[in-house]
């Protein structure tokens, strides 16, 4: 696998992981017991910590990419294993 492919695939895993990580640990101002400020959304987080989210995202993306790369090297799950519907009718493959 080329290094450009590694960077591209890891980036995809990073973005996916970011969307998976972001909702966890979010508490609104109301849940924290603070006063609501007019003009803010009711669902706005009380204390947004992007550094912590990026660190957790990087760790999760590294684990997922590691599993992907091990599968790429060892061939544990291939395209044929993901064919859930069987052969298409009339194919000689």
**Predicted local distance difference test score (pLDDT) of residue 67:** 98
Rounded to the nearest angstrom, the gap between the alpha carbon of residue 41 and the centroid of all alpha carbons in its chain is: 25
Asked whether the beta carbons of 56 and 14 are under 8 A apart, the reply is: no
**Predicted local distance difference test score (pLDDT) of residue 25:** 87
* Cross-strand partners of 28: 45
**Predicted local distance difference test score (pLDDT) of residue 93:** 58
* Per-residue confidence in pLDDT tens, the chain, 93 aa: 999 999 999 999 999 999 999 999 889 888 988 888 888 888 888 888 999 999 999 999 999 999 999 999 999 998 888 888 877 777 765
**Predicted local distance difference test score (pLDDT) of residue 60:** 98
Q: Where are the domains of the chain?
A: 1-25+49-78
Rounded Cα gap, residues 71 and 42, in angstroms: 43
């Amino acid at each position: 696998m080329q290094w450009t492919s590694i960077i591209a695939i890891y980036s995809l895993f990073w973005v996916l992981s970011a969307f998976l990580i972001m909702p966890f640990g979010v508490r609104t101002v109301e849940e924290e017991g603070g006063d609501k400020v007019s003009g803010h959304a009711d669902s706005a987080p009380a204390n947004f910590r992007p550094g912590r989210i990026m660190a957790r995202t990087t760790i999760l993306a590294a684990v997922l990419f590691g599993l992907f790369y091990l599968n790429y090297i060892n061939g544990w799950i291939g395209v044929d294993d993901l064919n859930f519907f069987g052969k298409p009718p009339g194919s000689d493959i």
